[in-house]
Amino acid sequence: MMRLPLPALGLNRALGATAIAFSVVAVWPWLFPPVPAIRPLAAPAASAPALTLAPLPPLATFAAIVERPLFSPSRRPPPGAAGLLGASIESRYRLIGIVATGPKKKAFVAEGARHFEIAKGDTLDGWAVSEIGRDRVRLTSSAGEATLKLLPAAEEAPKKP
């Protein structure tokens, strides 16, 4: 057997001890996980204002997006899309009734399950109610004019469950 000189043997022992020390340091977090410091929770501020969402701007505000669509190579709306803003309010809202008490008239409008009561001069999604007739409500905005018509019971769209 060959004997190693004393300095080489000491170096091997030093390197072995260093490797064991690094192994212990590497395994230490799994053997003894750190205990998180327990801090008392801060009491919520009593005067913190409730978060509120800002109302959405009227649909007419986005007219430029419809007039010059971003993903169309010609930046022109597809044929048949003209009047999209004026027709959208008519397809979104449904006139379900009109009540007249003397000179005052009110209209009842539905958007899905939500119902609204509007009168002349009120606004609905940025559209001003300019006239309430016997069977229709006329709405005006900067995008144009729209009319919600009262449909007879047989022509009403079926209700969604």
- Give the tens place of pLDDT for each residue, 29-64: 888 887 777 777 766 666 667 778 788 787 777 777
pTM value > 0.75: no
Q: Which band of pLDDT confidence, cut at 50, 70 and 90, is reported for residue 81? A: low
Q: What is the mean pLDDT of residues 104-120?
A: 90
pLDDT at 136: 92
Q: Which structural domains are found in the chain, ordered by start?
A: 83-155 (2.30.30.830)
| φ, ψ for residue 104, nearest 5 deg | -85, 135
Q: Pick from 148, 116, 113, 145: which is nearest to 132 by CA?
A: 148
pLDDT, averaged across the chain:
80
- Give the tens place of pLDDT for each residue, 8-27: 667 888 899 999 999 999 99
Q: Which amino acid is it at 61? A: T
The answer to whether residue 85 scores a pLDDT higher than 50 is no
